[in-house]
């Protein structure tokens, strides 16, 4: 069974754009193992656009660009599998991909069979260059049907950008994850706006089909084609906390061969990953915790009865003592004076912070967050 939990892995697009090749992908595979990412659950290594040759072969099949992959795709897939990883490819619901390579329209079944024969485990399916006259969701239903009958378990990652009511058809059309927004850019506003745009959809996430908030931008630092601004480390930490509490797939997109220590620390936070990967797959629900400022709380119910709580300062100002952020447990279902409280653990700084009876309060810098895991206990 695939995608019981939010899928985790690495995707080439944000870091490399179309500049991919077989030695580099092998190095990425090696780094996913040696850095400990695979052990934490980052298991899919996904090639995005531009992996395929510009034309199909004489039998109408896609094949890998021989300039980039001179040994052929199957030997690369064997290598990736030999490391204990799973392998993903990209195609598109239209006639061409967004990068003008062959798309899968009218080739859905032959492509699914080809991918299965090669040993592909994951397909990202994009939304460009579609024909007129066919409703979008039908193009995704076609590929879902083809993949579900190709003889191999292939995770279906729909990249439909939230268009045409993606939230309403993606899950029941057989996708395993579905992009609910346009492309993330490597800056604070893009990341924050994607998260906030999905607060209203917290009931759509569940095992086998997850709301994909797009790839993680942690560690890009404004050096790639998706944004020259970049984020601060604090903003990248907030980003990872949001994706974890909102139960998004976690697809790394920085060059993991040269991660700095902060990037590695953020991406390998096991306590946050455990919250993201909780088997019930519930998305945290969000609410505004101050009338006067863009301060938000997110609470996620976990399968063992614990709750994860996030507090977020989305404003451009540090918060002061007088307007500190405050989650009242009343708002998540704890009656006042009931004799229960939460034994809290700070899962970003990895320390226990003790019993909180009615609320938890923090002071946060601009764009910062705090995340706790709380265990309900009776204290009187």
CA distance 136 to 91: 15
126 catalytic? Reply is yes
CB atoms within 10 A of CB 248: 26
Site for ligand GLA in 102-131 (CB under 6 A): 126
Site for ligand GLA in 159-218 (CB under 6 A): 159, 183
136 binds ligand GLA (CB under 6 A): no
- Per residue in 114-129, is it b (16+ CB within 10 Å) or e — as a string? bbbebbbbbbbbbbbe
Give alpha helix (H) positions in 132-183.
Answer: 136-148, 166-169
CB 61 within 8 A of CB 110: yes
Span interacting with ligand GLA, options 19-27, 81-89, 92-100, 321-329, rule CB under 6 A: 92-100
136-139-142-148 Cα dihedral, nearest 10 degrees: -80
183 catalytic? Reply is yes
Q: 30, 65, 78, 183: which one is catalytic?
A: 183
Closest approach, Cβ 114 to ligand GLA, in A, equals 19
CA distance 316 to 368: 10
Nearer to ligand GLA, 99 or 207 (CB): 99
Closest approach, Cβ 301 to ligand GLA, in A, equals 30
Nearer to ligand GLA, 20 or 369 (CB): 20
Among 32, 98, 231, 347, binds ligand GLA (CB under 6 A): 98
Closest approach, Cβ 205 to ligand GLA, in A, equals 20
Closest approach, Cβ 198 to ligand GLA, in A, equals 16
Nearer to ligand GLA, 11 or 269 (CB): 11
CA distance 82 to 337: 57
User: For the chain, how are helix, strand and coil distributed in percent, rounded to 5?
Assistant: 30, 25, 45
Binding site for ligand GLA (CB under 6 A): 13, 48-49, 97-99, 126, 159, 183
């Amino acid at each position: 069974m695939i995608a019981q939990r939010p899928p985790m892995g690495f995707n080439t697009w944000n870091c490399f754009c179309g500049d991919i090749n077989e030695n580099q992908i092998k190095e990425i595979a090696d780094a996913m193992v040696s850095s400990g990412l695979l052990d934490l659950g980052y298991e899919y290594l996904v090639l995005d656009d531009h992996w395929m040759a510009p034309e199909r072969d004489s039998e109408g099949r896609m094949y890998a660009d021989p300039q980039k992959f001179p040994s052929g795709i199957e030997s690369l897939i064997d290598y990736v599998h030999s490391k204990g990883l799973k392998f993903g490819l990209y195609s598109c619901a239209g006639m061409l991909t967004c990068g003008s390579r062959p798309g899968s329209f009218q080739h859905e079944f032959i492509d699914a069979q080809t991918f299965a024969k090669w040993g592909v485990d994951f397909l990202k399916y994009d939304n460009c260059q579609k024909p007129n006259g066919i409703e979008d969701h039908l193009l995704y239903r076609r590929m879902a049907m083809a993949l579900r009958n190709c003889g191999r378990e292939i995770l279906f990652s729909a990249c439909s950008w939230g268009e045409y009511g993606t939230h309403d058809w993606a899950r029941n059309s057989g996708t395993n994850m579905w992009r609910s927004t346009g492309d993330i850019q490597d800056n604070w506003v893009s990341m924050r706006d994607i998260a906030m745009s999905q607060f209203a959809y917290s009931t759509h996430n569940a095992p086998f089909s997850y709301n994909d908030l797009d790839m993680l931008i942690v560690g890009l630092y404004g050096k790639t084609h998706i944004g020259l601004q970049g984020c601060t480390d604090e903003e990248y930490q907030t980003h990872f906390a949001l994706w974890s509490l909102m139960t998004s797939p976690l697809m790394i997109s920085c060059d993991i061969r040269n991660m700095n220590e902060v990037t590695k620390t953020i991406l390998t936070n096991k306590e946050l990953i455990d919250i993201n990967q909780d088997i019930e797959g519930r998305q945290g629900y969000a609410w505004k915790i101050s009338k006067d400022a863009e301060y938000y709380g997110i609470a996620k119910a976990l399968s063992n009865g614990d709750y994860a709580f996030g507090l977020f300062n989305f404003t451009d100002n540090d918060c002061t003592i007088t307007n500190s952020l405050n989650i009242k447990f009343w708002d998540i279902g704890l009656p006042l004076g009931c004799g229960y409280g939460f034994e809290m653990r700070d899962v970003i700084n990895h320390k226990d912070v003790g019993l909180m009876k009615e609320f938890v309060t923090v002071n946060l810098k601009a764009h910062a967050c705090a995340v706790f895991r709380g265990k309900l206990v009776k204290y009187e």
